[in-house]
Each structure stands twice: as C-alpha cells, then as structure tokens.
Amino acid sequence: MASLSLRFTLLLTALLPLTFTGVGGVALPRAPADVYDYIVVGGGAAGSIVASRLSENSSVSVLLIEGGPSNEGVTNAIIPYIYPRLYRSTYDWNFTTVAQPGLNGRATAYLRGHILGGSSSINGMTLNRAPAADWDQIASFTGDSSFSWNNIVQYIQKNEAFKRPEGSRFDNAYDPAVHGREGPIGNSLVEDDTWITEPTLTGAEEVGIPHIRDVNGGQPLGISWQQFAVKDGARSSAATGYINEQDRARSNLHVLLNSKVSKVLPGPGGTTDSAPLHFTTVEYTDGNGNTQTAVASREIIISTGVMATPGLLMRSGLGPRAQLQAAGITTLLDIPAVGQYLQDRCGISAIWSVNNTDTDDTIDRNSTYFNELLQEWNDHRTGRLTQTGYRHMIWARVPEDAPILSTIDDPSSGPTCPHYEIYPANKWAGTSPRPATGNFVTMSIFVSASNVRGSVTLDTSNQMNPIIDPKYLQSDWDMYVMRTAVRRAAEYMNAPAWRRWNATPVFDPSILDDDSALDQWIHTNAFGGVHAVGSARMGPPNSPPGTDVVGPDFRVKGVRGLRIVDTSVFPFVMNAHTMGPTYIMAEKAADLIRRGL
C-alpha cells in the first residue's frame, strides 16, 4: 500500500496546476506586488539561498521567480536512489549540446533542474567543496582574498548540517573539525555495511592510492568516503533547506513558480554614453502564459544557471554585439565575455562484471525487491534507497614526470589539485542499457582539470533556447588525462582485492595497451560532465571592459542594479561536483548583498 501511495503522490504532483506559492501556500497566477526590494531570478542552488538569506531581514521584500514547478511531493526528487528517473523528464530543462567532434560527432544531454531547487533537486547529491587551492586560485584570479579557502570556510559552516556516522569503522572516514552542524543542508555518509566497501578501500591501498580522511578538508588527493546531501534518508536540496514551508511563511518572501523570465530591463534615465544603465524591471511569462513585469527597487539578482544566464543577459541587450545584432536585439552594452568561457568536466563509464550478487543492479531489475525497499523507506526512511550506489571517491593527478607537462601548462590550481576523478559505483552506471543478467561495478571517470573553453550562444530562431558547445575532449591535454584516468582505473580494478570477486572488464582490455584504440573507445563512449562554469565569469574589478562579466562583488560590470550569482560566474571549472561550491558562493554573495557591498 505504501508503494501505491508514493506512486499516486508522484502522479498527483505531475497533474497539479501551475501555481504561485505565497504566504501560507496561497495559489495565485502572478506575484501579488509590483515592486520588491530584491528580485531573484531563478530558484536553483544559488538563487534559493540568496532569496532565503535576504528575506531573513524582515524589513526588505524579496520575490523569487522560478521557471519550474515545486519540488514538494515529487517522489523521485525525495528518495535518493531513484534520482536518475528525473533526467529527461518534466523536471529537467532537457538541454542538449551541439554535435561534439570529441564525442565522434554525438550531441549529448545537458541535465539541468527545471524545479524549485534547480539541479540540487535532481542531481546525484554528491557534496564536495573543491580543494583549498582552487579557492585560493579564484582569490588570485579576481584579486580578492575573500575568496581564499581560509576566508570561505565560514560559509561552509553556515550552509552545512553534518551528521556524524555511527560505528568505529567510520573513525577515519571524516574530520569533524571541517564541518558545520547547524546549516540548512544535510551532509552525511552512506552507513550501510555493503560488500563493496572492503575491495574499494583495500584495492586502493594495494595500488598506492593514499587514504584521505575527509574529501572536504581541502586536500582531496587520494581515496575517501564521499559525502552526500542526504538528511534523514531523503534528499537535502536548496529547496528543502532554504525555501521550505517555514521559509515561505515569511510575509516578505514571495515565491513564484512556473514563470519564465524573458529579459531584464533598465529604468528611465542613464545611457551607456553617460551614467551606467540601471536595471530595475523583470519581464516574465506567468503560469497562465501572460506577460508580466515586476520592479526591484534595490537589485535584481540573476541565478538562472550556467546555461540560461548568458541567454537572459543577451535577450536583455547585454552581450557580444555581433550575436545581438544577428538576433535582432538592440545592444545596450557590448560584453564579449558573455557565454564565451564555458568550461566543463567530461566523463566516461568503465564497467567491470563481478561475481557478487549484492550489487545495486538487483534493485533496478527486481520490482519485488524494489517495492520491499520502498516500503522500508516509506516506513522508516532507512535502507538501500537512502543511497545512490556510490560511497567513495578517488581524486588523482597524472604523473609529475608526464611528458605532456613539458609542453602544456598544467591547468590545475597546483600540485595539491587533481587532474581527474574516479567514482566507483556498486552497479551498472553506464550510458548504454544494463544487461539483463549479471552484476557490475562502474568506475565513473571525469577529467577535472580541463584546458578547453566552450561557449553558450543565442539561438536566433528561439531565443529562449541556448546553443551549448562545451568542446568536450578537443585538446591533447584532456585526451591525455582521460587515457591516464582510464588506465589507472583498470590498474585499480586489477588489484587483489577486486580479483577476489573476479572483476572482469566488459570492454576489450586490449585497448588499454594502444593509445589509438583507447582514444577511439573514449570518443565513442564519453559523455558530458554537467559541472560546467564560466559562461558569465568573474574577474578582477579593473579588468579590461568585456573580458569578464562580473566583478568579485557579483555585480555586472558597466551597469547598475544587476548581479549574477550562480555557477556561470566561476572563472574555471572546480575539482568538485559543482553543487557544493555553488552553495558556498551563494552564501558569500548573500552576505555581501545584505551588507550593502
């Protein structure tokens, strides 16, 4: 009966009308006021935080406009294990890249959350912060020391509610000194005692991968227990943590759902030839398809994400002049950097069959077993549906004497930063269909220090649609790192701890001995990493006009009244799944705005 109830809840959620959630959950077609102190465009991982933190001050009014529906009652966005069911659904923006030469001409899906909480409501809940050196590099690049690791720790503490795992086997699995306890976002380890833990950790030791006590301690090179945004057995997202029922009860916070922002508009007075343009107005289409406007008396904060923010800027007349002219848009300010520094992490799945029936493949194949687990989750919020199939993470570098480092500058932030990630899964986690029989372990592999820059441009035939070109694997460096990572994963899976389970690659292992064959396998099977940044990148306060989009204060350069707070502002891809760094950046931005900086 419980599983039937959950299925009904999901169906009911899909049928709910387009609504505005205001005070007390009142359903309205549009925002009840015309003027707010702050308007936050986009209720994702960053926008939810900014809106929530600003509205903690009861003397200011905040409107949060989200393009997707509510997260509440969406079963697939609550139970951790079944999160992949959200992909390519109504809760996904369903973006697709252009054909990628580095993927043998394939286009690839680019998953982004079309739901309150954004991608924090549909992703795999992996919660890591990036190495200390990455944050120090941002501080160096922007000329602002407040972005250094030592200075952003306060925002980590503010964001996180870490749950200490129980049992002596976790004594060296985390460092309590680097975690917050009272923040809105839950952070936890997978505590079940599954077979895969022993070969995962022992195999690493056998091939010389050091154990790291805490992946979030700033020095991630090695293997560690991974941490997840899971609280009390359920997803902990920006929506559940920052825009929950208690937050929405604030009389000064209005949350508008299912509303698509088309552009932001300057108020009267000020031109690019005299005073800077002052942006005051947001134009959006409400849930009934009507065009509406709302005015911000103080600031508009754009938080629509790495793929949508460039388009919003360009539709508003802010961006590369040639692109705007081609789209028939009047250029208000020529900003060549808009959409032009996109950077992502490309991935691939290398899979081994194992002689162990306790993999999570059984959950995905056996509906009776799944329903038993669903009953347990519904009754107690415990069991295997509280995890995602992943438990540990390996971060590593290419050898320091690698010949390529003598011809190419190392794009990482330094010797303590990884070049690639290996993420073991207790199941088939490939892009191709799972075989009908067998049990598997997947090494999800990502190039984490790319030297390639792509772009997000405007589709002149449909200006709401981004043209996404990440340029995956289109450099010698990225291909070298991917080859190195795949070979290291194979070496790891050949360790005695894995041989006990007869770990056997499902791909032809002979490709590991031939660069050309391995390259072909990579180009055929790689996929986008969905951790992109940089499309409205941050730069120093006094950098040449148009070389970046925002300064360290998150303000759009050359105009007034407009800030950007989302993953698009990161100047380079982080050695992390981007949710964690985005949370940190959003907490910092909200603090700046509240202090009037």
Which residues are annotated binding-site positions? Answer: 261
CA distance 593 to 582: 16
Q: Which residues in 311-325 are b (16+ Cβ under 10 Å) and which e?
A: bbbbbbbbbbeebbe
* Burial (CB count <10 Å: 0-12, 13-18, 19+), residue 277: buried
Strands 559-560 and 455-458: unpaired
Q: Sign (positive/negative) of CA torsion 203, 205, 208, 214?
A: positive
Q: Tell me which residue of 78, 91, 156, 80 sits closest to 390, measured CA to CA.
A: 80
Active-site option among 114, 254, 523, 531: 531
| Residue 485, H or E segment | helix 476-493
Q: Tell me which residue of 591, 556, 16 sits closest to 266, measured CA to CA.
A: 556
Residue numbers belonging to the annotated binding site for FAD: 261
Q: Tell me which residue of 575, 531, 480, 498 sits closest to 209, measured CA to CA.
A: 498
C-alpha distances out from residue 456 to 222, 337, 459, 535, 536, Å: 34, 10, 10, 7, 10
Written as six digits, the tokens of 285 are: 């289409």
Please state the separation of Cα 585 from the chain's center in Å: 13
**211 catalytically annotated:** no
**531 catalytically annotated:** yes
Strands 559-560 and 277-285: parallel
Identify the bridge partners of residue 392 per DSSP, sorted by sequence position.
Answer: 225
Amino acid in the structure at residue 184: P
CA distance 100 to 113: 23
Written as six digits, the tokens of 203 are: 């195999």
C-alpha distances out from residue 569 to 35, 46, 309, 468, 589, Å: 27, 11, 10, 17, 11
149: helix, strand or coil: helix
Written as six digits, the tokens of 320 are: 């590369």
Amino acid in the structure at residue 570: F
Which residues form the catalytic set?
Answer: 531, 577
